[in-house]
Chains A and B, each alone.
Chain A
Amino acid sequence: MAFDLGTIFKDALQAGVTAAKPGGKAAEDWVRESAKANEKSLKAIAEGMLNRKISKETGAMLLRESNRALESEAAALSAILKAAAQAGVNAFFGSLTSALSAALKIAL
């Protein structure tokens, strides 16, 4: 019986990368969406202020709240990244454990 630790690790790494990949794509999409939404908000506030439909005070309040929304978007991004990392790490360990278990059964 021979078992190749190198291959086991390589497969585990591949399992981890595959599991984390959807999270990476979701994060990229979210950053794009968030940037667009932020631009839209700022544009609407700026135009309103320019047309005097939004006063300086109200505009300042809206800008503060737009920044707060940006914080929410960053928090959502952190959730995506954590979830992707968790999926990747657990898939890595899962693959490693099952490969080593299989090797152990053969050895016994």
Chain B
Amino acid sequence: MDFPSYPLTASRSTGLAHPPHGWRQFLLAWAVLLLSGCSVFWISAYDKEAADRTTEISKQVIKFYQDMLALDADKRKPALGTTLASREGDVESLMRVHLLKEEARQKNEASIKVATNMLASWREFAANHRKGDKTALTDETLDAERSIMERHLRSAFTAEEAKKLASSN
């Protein structure tokens, strides 16, 4: 039995490589088909709501420290039991909701990590305000806390904004 044979070298007159035309087209079509399904998804898409939630948390955190620093040092602890009593709890609630929503998104490990860390730091600071030693509410401590919270918040914004880069071709 004879099998059909194809020349393996290119014909100089056409400039085409062999296997012959039909087979080459099939390979090309196969490559296109394979590649057309090839796109990677390593990070979630940008979500404006996540950025808005971070903005709201930022406003509340910054306002809290401004209000605390505006008070005389000896009036800060009493204020946490009266005028500023619910503020730390309100901010914690916002952060918890933010964390839950971040956890519900696919491929969102970085933002989840930032939201988790931000909440942990906030809780640590809130506990220190109530149970810490006499330097827990000095200007210097509050300034340092605010600077740390700003770093978490900046990280949250950056992690969200970075997602825009993933879709910018």
Contacts and interface: CB of A to CB of B under 8 A. Distances in A.
B19 to A, nearest CB: 13
Contacts of B111: 75, 79
B151 A80 contact: no
Contacts of B158: 30, 76, 79-80
A48 B139 CA distance: 9
A89 B152 CA distance: 29
B39 A93 contact: yes
B8 interface: no
A68 to B, nearest CB: 5
A57 B136 CA distance: 9
Interface in A63-102: 64-66, 68-73, 75-76, 78-80, 82-87, 89-91, 93-94, 96-97, 100-101
B159 A76 contact: yes
Nearest to B125: A65
Given A61-B124, A94-B169, A75 B155 contact: yes
Contact of A66 (B29, B132, B148): B148
Interface of B: 15-16, 21, 24-25, 28-29, 31-32, 35-36, 38-43, 109-111, 113-114, 117-118, 120-121, 124-125, 128, 132-136, 138-141, 143-145, 147-148, 150-152, 154-156, 158-159, 162-169
Contact of B43 (A65, A70, A73, A83): A83
A75 B154 contact: no
A76 B141 contact: no
8 contacts: A26-B165, A34-B151, A37-B147, A48-B143, A52-B135, A53-B138, A69-B121, A85-B42
A54 B144 CA distance: 10
Main secondary structure of the interface of B (DSSP, over half): helix
B110 A79 contact: yes
Nearest to A12: B35
Given A2-B15, A58-B128, A72-B113, A97 B155 contact: no
A76 B42 contact: no
Contacts of B114: 72, 75-76
A103 to B, nearest CB: 6
Given A72-B156, A80-B159, 4 more contacts: A75-B114, A76-B110, A82-B42, A103-B28
A17 interface: no
Contacts of B125: 65
Contacts of B36: 97, 101
